[in-house]
């Protein structure tokens, strides 16, 4: 009995450590996945829009464009994001060569809504609502997935409310400044495992679900747009960091190991079937964009954009349990070590007639994620995207539609941060985005 008691004690310690690790990784999903596609017109040119900013989505892409609004305009729509491939091929030592897993098919619809109108000849107002961060990572057959102790589902929702003022300083130069209120929540599902002291095999002992309440934090955006002449314009846009605190609860649901003695010992030591108050923090990165637009002919325009995102603020993630000695787990701080990242966009706009436009684009987007933190929670990678779009303007109403094919470069993880275990392999991802915006 003394030997079995020692085994059970080790199992309990391992289970507690696993639970801490599970909770500590929650914010990584939010920090590593932004959504730049916030309007179908801009998306048709792969997001190269900073130096145009000539439809209501300017509130996201460059507030300086608001200065040139001459009449009230409203735009609303969505971007449908779906994965065509999202899979993992394992590597040694774990989960091992020959292992294969796939994510559940992604289908998300982040919305956008914009309203702009003049206040006076030089002063303009706009209000934007969009979802610049989000998406979901969910793996098939979660109870059999080799990475189930890392993540079976991770989700983030973030909505921005963005009132903005634009000022047309001269006929060719405008500035805009806005306030941003970000409302966000996070969710994570994982299994908890430990070594069964009687069989010396890993067994699942619980499912952990963390859900935060909606938290709110504030930032700002500024932009300038200079229409130098009929052949050239340039724009510059900046959106600030937003530091958002989350409060919520984690809940452990026990899974029977098939051994009543072990199950009872686990129930006595771990906080199953109760809410565990937890707090954490996400520092959403700041972004800056520079765009140059060239009118090649009267009907053909070329734009190139350079975008920078300050992901390096994600150096570590703090986790604080606030439920007291009997209703919590130890606090933790997890290193992330993200890097700043750039993306490069090129767009071509062809005005086929006074009422129709065709748009084409290409984007190369760098991943900020170091190899050590690539995992089933968020397997990010450099990506290449190509786009095509179409716009039609009719009496009083129009629409824009755009399609993007996004190919992620194969991402390999073959090393870990000091003190962390191995979950090695190659990740392959492809996605398609379809955006629709209605204008009137």
Residue with tokens 């002919």: 297
Instruction: Check pLDDT > 90 for residue 326.
Output: no
Name residues whose C-beta falls within 8 Å of residue 319's C-beta, 6 or more positions apart in sequence.
Answer: 20, 23, 24, 26, 278, 279, 280, 331, 332, 333, 334
- pTM of the predicted model as reported, rounded to 2 decimal places: 0.89
Cα(342)–Cα(311) distance, rounded to whole angstroms? Answer: 10
Q: What is the mean pLDDT of the chain?
A: 89
Range of the domain at 387: 2-439
Closest CA to 206 of 276, 136, 106: 276
Q: What is the pLDDT of residue 435?
A: 98
Instruction: Check pLDDT > 50 for residue 11.
Output: no
**Residue pLDDT, tens place only, 82-103:** 999 999 999 999 999 999 999 9
**Residue pLDDT, tens place only, 346-395:** 999 999 999 999 999 999 999 999 999 888 888 889 999 999 999 999 88
Domain count, the chain: 1
Cα(394)–Cα(392) distance, rounded to whole angstroms? Answer: 7
Confidence of residue 26 (pLDDT cuts 50, 70, 90): very low
Mean pLDDT value across residues 118-136: 94
14-23 per-residue burial string, b: 16 or more CB within 10 A, e: under 16: bbbebbbbbb
* Phi then psi dihedrals of residue 414, to 5 deg: -135, 15
**Residue pLDDT, tens place only, 245-268:** 999 998 889 999 989 999 999 998
Report the DSSP beta bridge partners of residue 428: 87
Task: Show the tokens assigned to 39.
Answer: 């309007």
Task: Show the tokens assigned to 376.
Answer: 């089933």
**Comparison of pLDDT for 75 and 152, the residue scoring more:** 75
List the CATH number of the domain containing 340: 2.40.160.60
Element of type H or E holding 437: strand 425-439
Cα(436)–Cα(391) distance, rounded to whole angstroms? Answer: 10
**What is the phi-psi region of residue 136: left when phi exceeds 0, alpha when psi lies from -120 to 50, beta otherwise?**
beta
In 218-359, which residue ranges form alpha helices assigned H by DSSP? 260-269
Q: Is 180 exposed, middle or buried (0-12, 13-18, 19+ CB in 10 A)?
A: buried
Q: What is the pLDDT of residue 418?
A: 87
Element of type H or E holding 115: strand 111-118
Q: What is the pLDDT of residue 38?
A: 96
Crossing angle of helices 260-269 and 2-24, in 10° steps, is: 50
Cα(128)–Cα(220) distance, rounded to whole angstroms? Answer: 13
Q: What is the pLDDT of residue 375?
A: 86
As a whole-number percent, the residues of the chain with pLDDT over 70 amount to: 92
Confidence of residue 24 (pLDDT cuts 50, 70, 90): very low
Mean pLDDT value across residues 24-50: 75
Closest CA to 64 of 230, 222, 238: 222
């Amino acid at each position: 009995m003394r030997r079995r008691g020692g085994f059970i004690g080790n199992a309990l310690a391992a289970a507690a450590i696993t639970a801490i690790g599970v909770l500590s990784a929650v914010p990584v999903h939010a920090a590593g996945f932004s959504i730049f596609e916030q309007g179908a017109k801009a998306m048709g040119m792969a997001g190269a829009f900073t130096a145009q900013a000539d439809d209501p989505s300017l509130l996201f892409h460059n507030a300086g464009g608001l200065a040139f609004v001459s009449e009230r305009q409203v735009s609303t729509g969505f971007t449908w994001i779906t994965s065509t491939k999202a899979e993992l091929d394992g590597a040694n030592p774990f989960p091992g060569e020959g292992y294969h897993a796939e994510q559940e098919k992604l289908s998300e619809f982040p919305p956008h809504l914009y309203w702009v109108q003049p206040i006076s000849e030089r002063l303009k107002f706009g209000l934007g609502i969009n979802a610049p961060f989000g998406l979901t990572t969910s793996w098939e057959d979660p109870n059999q997935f080799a990475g189930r102790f890392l993540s079976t589902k991770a989700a983030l929702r973030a909505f921005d409310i963005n009132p903005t003022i634009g000022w047309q300083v001269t006929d060719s130069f405008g500035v805009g400044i806005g306030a941003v209120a970000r409302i966000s929540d996070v969710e994570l599902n994982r299994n908890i495992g430990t070594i069964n002291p009687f069989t010396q095999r890993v067994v699942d002992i619980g499912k952990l679900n963390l859900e935060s309440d909606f938290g709110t934090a504030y930032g700002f955006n500024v932009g300038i747009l200079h229409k130098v002449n009929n052949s050239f314009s340039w724009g510059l846009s900046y959106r600030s960091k937003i530091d958002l605190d989350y409060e919520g609860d984690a809940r452990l649901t026990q899974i029977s190991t098939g051994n009543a003695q072990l199950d009872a010992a686990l129930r006595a030591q771990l906080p199953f079937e109760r809410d565990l108050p937890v707090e954490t923090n996400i520092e959403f990165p700041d972004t800056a964009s520079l765009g140059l637009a060239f009118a090649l002919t009267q009907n053909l325009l070329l734009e190139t954009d350079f975008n920078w995102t300050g992901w390096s603020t994600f150096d570590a993630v703090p986790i604080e349990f606030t439920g007291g000695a009997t209703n919590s787990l130890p606090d933790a701080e997890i290193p992330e070590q993200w890097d700043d990242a750039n993306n490069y966009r090129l767009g071509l706009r062809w005005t086929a007639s006074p009422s129709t436009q065709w748009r084409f684009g290409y984007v190369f987007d760098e991943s900020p994620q170091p190899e050590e933190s690539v995992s089933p929670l968020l397997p990010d990678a450099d990506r290449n995207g190509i786009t095509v779009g179409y716009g039609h303007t009719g009496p009083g109403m129009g629409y824009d539609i755009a399609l993007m094919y996004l190919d992620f470069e194969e991402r390999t993880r073959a090393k870990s941060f000091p003190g962390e275990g191995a979950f090695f392999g190659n990740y392959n991802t492809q996605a398609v985005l379809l955006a629709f915006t209605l204008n009137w």
